[in-house]
Amino acid sequence: MPPENPNVKAGLVYSRDLSAYDFGPHHPMQPVRLELTAELIEACGLLGPDSPMAPPRPATREELLRAHDAEYLDAVIAAGAGAASYRHGLGHADNPIFPRMDQASALISGGSVLAVEKVLSGEWPHAFAIAGGLHHAMRDRAAGFCILNDAAVAIHAALAGGVERVLYVDIDAHHGDGVERIFYSDPRVLTISIHESGRHLFPGTGFVTEIGEGPGEGFSVNVPLEPYSSDAAFVEAVERVVPPLARAFSPDLIVTQNGCDAHAEDPLTHLAITLEGHARAVSLLHDLSHEVCGGRLVALGGGGYSILRVVPLAWTRVFAMLAGRSLPEVTPERWRRQCRAAGSDGPPESFHDPETPEKFPETSEDVRETIAWIESNIFPRHGAKVLRS
C-alpha cells in the first residue's frame, strides 16, 4: 500500500528505556551503544517530520508465545523477579540474570513489532528498531546475549497480520540461528544469513547445507565466510544470493538484521568488513525492498561490540540511508562531547574508516564456491535466476 503520509521516509523506534536491557558493566553488549547511536542520529539532524521517532511498547504475552514456549517465558519472568536459574540458558556468562529482564526483553520485542506495524499500516515506508536483532534466542532458551527473539516475534506478528511471505536477511557476523530455527519448516519465511563460518565462531552453525526441513526445505539459506573475509567477499555474497532469491520469492515484507560486528575492529569476531562494506550491503537491501515489496522494510540492529568507533557510525548510516538524508562531513562536536562524557578520549570525527593499508587477505574464491553451491542447490527450488557477471 502507498505510505499513509507520503512525506515520511523512515521512522526510528527508540527510547532510553531500552537501556534497561543491561547484563552488567563487564558484558560485551553495553546499552550505551544504543544511546550513542540515537544521540548521533539526533545530533546529525536526521530526525524530523519526515523521519519521526516513536518509543517502543512491550510485546504482549500472546505476541511472545508465537515465537517462544510458555514454560520458557515463565522462566524469564521468574528470573527477572530474582529467581536464580541455570535453566533454559539463563544465568550463564553470555546471558546473566538481571532485575526485570523479562520486561526489558519484552520492550525490545515490542519495539520490533511496532516497527512492523508502522510499515504494514503504511504510516512509515521503512522502520529502524535499533535495539532489535536479538537473533540467537530459541523457542525454549536464551543464547548469545539474546533472551527473547524479537526478530521472530516481529515476523510472526506480520504473518498474524495477514502478510503471506517475509524475507529475513541477516548480515551480522554471527549466524542468525534462532530466527532460522524458529522458521526452519515454514515456507512463508525465507531466511538468508551471511556470517562468519561456524567452524570459527559462535554459535557453530550456519553451514551451507542447513537448508530447512519439511515444507520449509530450501527456505533457509546460509553463506558462511572464512575469517578475515573483507568487503569484496561480503558484498559479493549479498549481491549474488539475496536479489535473485528475493525476486523469485516475492515477499510482502523484508526484515533485515544489521549487526555491524563483521567490522574489522570488532573484538568478538574475525571478519574484516569496513563501514563502507556494511553500508553497501544495507543499500542493496534497501533498493531491493523498493523493487520487490513496495519498499516495505523493517531494519533491526543486532551485534556490534566496537561500541564507540563502529556501532553508532554504522547504524546512523543505516538510518540516514533509509530516510534518504545525507550525513555531515564530520561527526557533530555535540556528539563527540557526549562520547567524552561517556568515558571516551578519542571519539571518531569521520563516518568513514581511517585510511589504513590492507591488512587482510582476500578470500573471495571460498565464498564463490559457497555461492555456486547455493545457485545449484537452492536457486532451482525457487526458480531463481543466476546472476552472470
**Edge-to-edge strands, sheet with 297-300:** 53-54, 10-13, 126-129, 297-300, 253-257, 166-170, 189-196, 220-225
Q: Is 73 exposed, middle or buried (0-12, 13-18, 19+ CB in 10 A)?
A: buried
Which is nearest to 221 in space by CA: 375, 81, 365, 330?
A: 375
Active site residues: 175
CB-CB contact of 164 with 188 (8 Å): yes
CB-CB contact of 19 with 307 (8 Å): no
Q: What is the chain's alpha carbon radius of gyration, rounded to the nearest angstrom?
A: 19
- Alpha carbons 205 and 8: distance in angstroms, whole number: 39
Which is nearest to 13 in space by CA: 101, 100, 103, 109?
A: 109
Task: Tell me the three cell numbers of residue 282.
Answer: 544495507
The torsion of the CA quartet 56, 42, 24, 348, rounded to 10 degrees, works out to 150
Q: Report the 10 Å Cβ neighbour count for 284.
A: 17
